[in-house]
Amino acid sequence: MPEMSAYADDPFLTACHGGKGRWTPVWFMRQAGRSLPEYRALRERHTMLDLCRTPELAAEVSLQPLRRLGVDAAILFSDIVVTLLGLGISLDIEPGLGPVIHEPLRSKEDIAGLGTLVPERDIPFVAESVRILVREAHVPVIGFAGAPFTLASYLIEGGPSRHHARTKNLMHTEPELWRELMERLASAVLASLRSQVEAGAAAVQLFDSWAGTLSPRDYERYALPASQAILEGLRDLGAPRIHFGVGTGELLALMADAGADVVGVDWRVPLDAARARVGGRALQGNLDPAALFAPADVVMREVDDVLKRGGGKGHIFNLGHGVLPDTDPEVLRRIVDHVHSRTEET
């Protein structure tokens, strides 16, 4: 979709700006990935990071859900830890587990040693993947990155973590060092997101997936300033900014104030309740990904409830978190059809 004018009455962008389009737009977090057999076939021949680093393959994986599901937006195929790769961090993405950092950051020296990200030099494949995708996709392309708190958790814990205890320990005991880490990560994330928009991404999503493990007071003090710097630093580009985390019911107002155009909501807060917390911003969400294993009539009833609470205006239908790997893609396709037909009628 290369012509900006072609976006004029696009349902996804209209909803991002708070409006009501021809239908309620729908896409799914992790729509590109293990629920699709065509993705699993490619993964038999390439590692996850090889897919991310090879623009033709990354673009192909991003296009797979467009062909099969008919969603209203494409998301770049990559991972939040690609920004860390660009900062010179040695890591892998292990099947069934997630990112593993070979030498977790634990000291002042480790943090001082983090480089500066120059996207064209350090992760040129990201912008190139976006350029190919924008040429090939018939819907807007969403660029993305992880927010500093969530990235710091992987960097410090060394991988997925339940309690984020080392991360919070650094945050509480060495607030100055913590702030330095947040600032370094924020400038890297901002540089990456700006280069994705300059390459043609029509919107961006900042994933602060694990921010919901913080109290509102700690979020405001230790995580929000860095996310705010990123979201504010994107404002001049005019691409809608989606801000998402899991378990963030008590943080929604703060996440909106950080500078989001759209606030992503997990399944724990009904959208009508979330609407009251986000001060006029658009909403994205929020069907429970585990509900997709229920019988079809139950799934569609849940979809209808989300649509009703979303209110039809300034609502992007999505799950409350990523598609679970065992999800039947046919259920995803039926949800897309259902959302479209339901909302075209009104």
Would you please indicate which residues are annotated as catalytic (active-site) residues? 30, 34, 43, 79, 154
* 27 lies in the site for ligand 1CP, by CB under 6 A: no
The DSSP output letter for 9 is: T
* 148 lies in the site for ligand 1CP, by CB under 6 A: no
* 43 lies in the site for ligand 1CP, by CB under 6 A: yes
**Which residue in the block uniquely carries the two structure tokens 């590109």?**
32
Using DSSP, state whether 340 is helix, strand or coil. Answer: helix
Helix (H) or strand (E) segment spanning residue 130: helix 124-136
Cβ atoms of residues 256 and 221 within 8 Å:
no
Out of 11, 23, 34, 91, point to the residue binding ligand 1CP (CB under 6 A): 34
Out of 37, 115, 160, 279, point to the residue binding ligand 1CP (CB under 6 A): 160
Among 31-39, 169-177, 275-283, 285-293, which window interacts with ligand 1CP (CB under 6 A)?
31-39
Judged by CB, which is closer to ligand 1CP: 98, or 225?
98
Out of 30, 221, 268, 334, point to the residue binding ligand 1CP (CB under 6 A): 30
Q: How far apart are CA 342 and CA 337, in angstroms?
A: 8
* 129 lies in the site for ligand 1CP, by CB under 6 A: no
Judged by CB, which is closer to ligand 1CP: 150, or 343?
150
**Which residue in the block uniquely carries the two structure tokens 């609502």?**
315
Q: How far apart are CA 83 and CA 249, in angstroms?
A: 27
Helix (H) or strand (E) segment spanning residue 319: strand 315-319
Using DSSP, state whether 243 is helix, strand or coil. Answer: strand
Out of 57, 71, 80, 151, point to the residue binding ligand 1CP (CB under 6 A): 80
Residue whose C-beta lies closest to ligand 1CP: 98
Amino acid residing at 319:
L
205: β partners: 144, 242
Q: Work out how close the CB of 200 gets to ligand 1CP at its nearest, in angstroms, rounded to a whole number.
A: 17
Judged by CB, which is closer to ligand 1CP: 18, or 98?
98
Judged by CB, which is closer to ligand 1CP: 46, or 313?
46
* 127 lies in the site for ligand 1CP, by CB under 6 A: no
* Number of neighbouring beta carbons within 10 Å of residue 315: 26
DSSP secondary structure of 75-126: E-S--TTHHHHHTT--EEEETTTEEEESS---SHHHHHT-----HHHH-HHH
Among 32-40, 103-111, 286-294, 328-336, which window interacts with ligand 1CP (CB under 6 A)?
32-40
* 72 lies in the site for ligand 1CP, by CB under 6 A: no
Under the rule (CB under 6 A), what is the footprint of ligand 1CP? 29-34, 43, 48, 75, 77, 79-80, 93, 95, 98-99, 144, 160, 207, 209, 322
